[in-house]
Structure 1
């Protein structure tokens, strides 16, 4: 009986041992499978963590770009505002410039009108002188307009004898015609200039060509005043000597041209300003 009990116990232990080993094998297999799954999950987790890190880095980069774009946008808005201010100021400056140009153009037109009227007066004076003197084929008399000034050039052989400052009778006739014209133009003043060549003077009582040119100019002025009634306040007498030649003194022809008396006729300065003021009142300009 005792042997049977021992046998039963041993059989039971053997059976139990067999079942546990099988289960152990199954558990071991399950453990291996679980471990594999764990390893797989770990790899995936690591991949996810890596992806997360990359996404976070990309997200930070995008945030940085957004911040940069916002800053750039703010700068652009500020620049647009500044540009708008500059454009407005530019428009104001342009308008002021246009107004200034209009004013300058108006001033130029007014001055041009005054100069045109001055030239018209000078042209009328020249025509009057030419009409009064008559024969302009005479090479001893020349009437011209230069830069708004009327000139009457009379050669010395018509006015004076050689080395003298006494006016000839023929010259008195010409001066009388000139006086008639200038007396009809009370708004004009004139300068009588004496000119000589460079040959030294040898006449007694006359120091040099300066002296001769002045004496000839004063002689003409006195004739105009005393014999033809030209107001002395309108006249100036001056001597230029040999220092303003119109030709070379190397030959007799050139010296002859340089020996001359020039009457410079010009409007009074205040009279010319009156022309400008009259132009300012012109309704066509204003």
Structure 2
């Protein structure tokens, strides 16, 4: 009986001990499962936080980019406005330059018109039918070429009476154009000359030019401020000095009637400086 009682007392204890181990194991398993879930949740949380930081950075970048785009758009608008203003100014400048070019062309056209009228007047006054007198326009100026047999004796620089008749007609035209200049050029052939008065063909050509100038000034009333004497010797021939006929062509006096060079080039310089601005 006593053994039965002892056994009865031990059995509940053993049973109780077995139940606690099972619960513990279950709890331990549950704890492990919970820990695994916690670890998994922690990993996901960290991933979410990292993604959040990345998205936050991206949002900040997009905001900045958007702000930059807005500023760029404003700057582009300003640049476009300035570009339109600059284009308008450029067009205005082109219009002004076109106007100045037109004025310059008008001035040149006017000069050509005056030159043409001068040629017509000279041909009418001097008489173009004379084969020893040639009137034409070269490089915008009127040129009258007179053979030396109408002006001088051979090797002389004394103007003859026949020449004064021709020069009087030239002087009439020069006097009608006080704003023009008259250059008188003496030309010779290549036959050497030297005597007690003349040293060479340079000397002869210069003295012939100054003789014509003196006649225009002293006898025909041309303003000396309009006159320019020049000697060219035989270095600008019309033909080769190989025949008597060609030498006769080269012995000539050329009278050039032209607008005053300084005034004309002052006008051109002024216009060109204006165009360059």
Task: Pick the TM interval, shorter chain.
Answer: 0.7 to 0.9
Residue 205 of structure 1 aligns to a residue in which SS? coil
CA distance in 1, matches of 2:35, 2:189: 124
Q: Measure, in 2, the Cα distance between the counterparts of 1:116 and 1:55.
A: 87
CA distance in 2, matches of 1:187, 1:146: 19
Contact 1:132–1:178 (CA under 8 A) maintained in structure 2: yes
RMSD: 3.1
After superposition, where does 1:12-91 map in structure 2 within 5 Å?
12-91=5-84
Unaligned runs of 5+ in 2: 269-277
Match of 2:215 in 1: 223
More deviation in 65-74 or 250-259?
250-259
Deviations 1:141-164 (A, max 9, x none): 332223332211223344333322
Q: CA deviation at 1:216?
A: 0.6
Residue in 1 that maps onto 2:242 = 251
The match for 1:99 is 92
Alpha-carbon distance between aligned partners in 1 of 2:226 and 2:20, rounded to the nearest angstrom: 144
**Structure 2-normalised TM-score?**
0.80
Name the structure 2 match of 1:202: 194
Structure 1 residues 220 and 250: alpha-carbon distance in aligned structure 2, compared to 1, 3 A threshold: closer
Structure 1 range deviating more: 49-58 or 170-179 = 170-179
What residue in structure 1 maps to residue 168 of structure 2? Answer: 176
Q: TM-score, normalised by structure 1?
A: 0.78
Shift of 1:269: 6.2
Q: Bigger radius of gyration, 1 or 2?
A: 1
Q: Distance in 2 between matches of 1:11 and 1:155?
A: 176
Contact 1:197 1:249 in 2 (8 A): no
* Contact 1:155 1:260 (C-alpha < 8 Å) held by counterparts: yes
> CA 1:210–1:44 in structure 2 vs 1: closer, same or farther (change >3 Å)?
same
Query: SS state of the match for residue 241, structure 1?
Result: coil
Q: Distance in 2 between matches of 1:250 and 1:217?
A: 21
8 Å Cα contact 2:128-2:134 kept in structure 1: no
Matched residues in 2 for 1:67 and 1:259: separation?
96
Structure 1: which 5+ runs fail to align?
A: 1-6, 277-286
2:156 partner SS: coil
How many residues align structurally?
A: 266
